[in-house]
Amino acid sequence: MKTIKGPAVFLAQFIGNESPYNSLDGLCKWASDLGYKGIQIPTWETSLIDLDKASESKTYCDELKGQINSYGLEITELATHLQGQLVAVHPAYDIMFDSFAPVKVQNNPKARTEWAINTMKKAAVASNNLGLNAHATFSGSLLWHTMHPWPQRPPGLVKMGFEELAKRWLPILDVFDKNGVDVCYEIHPGEDLHDGDTFERFLKATGNHKRVNILYDPSHFVLQQLDYLEYIDHYHEFIKAFHVKDAEFNPTGKKGAFGGYNNWIDRAGRYRSLGDGQIDFKTIFSKLTQYDCDVWAVMEWECCIKSPEQGAREGAPFIQKHIIEATEKAFDDFAGTDTDKEKLKNILGI
């Protein structure tokens, strides 16, 4: 068994205009001072990383790693959630997702998709240049608007949707494979990969591509009322990245999983800071360790009540407390004895 690495923090929710949140050095010192040992870097934040340069220059990557290592930190993964989202966007979401793309490809879905695919390929090379073996992203979605089937979905629609999604991702996956990096899709509402069944559909559509893997975040399963512990039993071999994020689900006579179009604070399902929600992290860490999942425990802060500053302060010790130092011996070794074949036969009476 392997000991889970961490604690680490996803920087996306902490970027700001004021020190220490407005520079890579500031964020690294802040994270290190709080007790974090790793950072997950959102690549759409150009103040943290130049993805073009990282895909072209090993020297740049070595310097970036050195800068981060100087604070006692490691890069856990690069993240391309916004760019991955743009690999597949249904026209109903064009206006809202256009802001994720450069101005030059906005209002041009075809050009935006091509830009997203090329950017994802650059992320594969950059990850390799940085010595990383896992990458965090979103799948995008062509089918989410049909999630609740009304009107009834025409036969063949879902199959075609996943075939098209796979068609767009296969060239990206091949580049990741060439660079020895796993693509870890965050299984997330709003994405076509949002639970176990949809992950399996996509995996099959890609011909069981070996770089198709999972970023496990239990908070998204709480909001769907999916068994997030059994999920690990089913898919542990694919879990190559891990977001530690809490959540709660408190349905009422007025609202449930769909949330009534409410703001986060008024929804039945809400993301919470670590320890403030309902997730059984003790069992999650036990299962991931038991199944030998080689992952970083990366805190993602999203809470509608607690401040990000407090969430970050509390996050590192929370994760550290849950990391299990994997044992290298059996607890009853002291009672063991050396045996030979004849002794075994005698014990069995044969």
Superfamily of domain 5-348: Divalent-metal-dependent TIM barrel enzymes (3.20.20.150)
**Quick one: pLDDT at residue 338?**
75
Q: How far apart are CA 274 and CA 315, in angstroms?
A: 6
Half-sphere exposure of residue 143: CA atoms within 13 angstroms, side-chain side: 23
Q: How far apart are CA 209 and CA 162, in angstroms?
A: 14
What's the helix, strand, coil split of the chain in %, to 5? 45, 15, 40
Q: How far apart are CA 350 and CA 342, in angstroms?
A: 9
8-state DSSP, 10: E
**Quick one: pLDDT at residue 303?**
97
Q: How far apart are CA 131 and CA 295, in angstroms?
A: 15
DSSP 203-229: HHHTTS-TTEEEEE-THHHHTTT--HH
Averaged in consecutive runs of 10 residues, what is the pLDDT profile of the chain (350 residues)? 96 97 98 98 98 98 98 98 98 97 98 98 98 98 96 97 98 98 98 98 98 98 98 98 98 96 97 98 98 98 97 98 88 69 90
**Quick one: pLDDT at residue 328?**
78
Work out the angle at residue 108's Cα, subtended by the Cα atoms of residues 12 and 139, and round it to the nearest 5 degrees: 45
Structure tokens at 254: 């007025």
Whole-model pTM: value is 0.95
**Quick one: pLDDT at residue 331?**
63
Distance of CA 264 to the CA centre of its chain: 21
- List helix spans (H) across 48-156: 51-56, 58-69, 81-85, 94-97, 109-129
Ranges of each domain in the chain = 5-348
Q: How far apart are CA 123 and CA 83, in angstroms?
A: 10
**Quick one: pLDDT at residue 42?**
98
**Quick one: pLDDT at residue 56?**
98
User: Using an 8 Å Cβ cutoff, are 104 and 94 in contact?
Assistant: no
Pairing of strands 239-244, 296-299: parallel
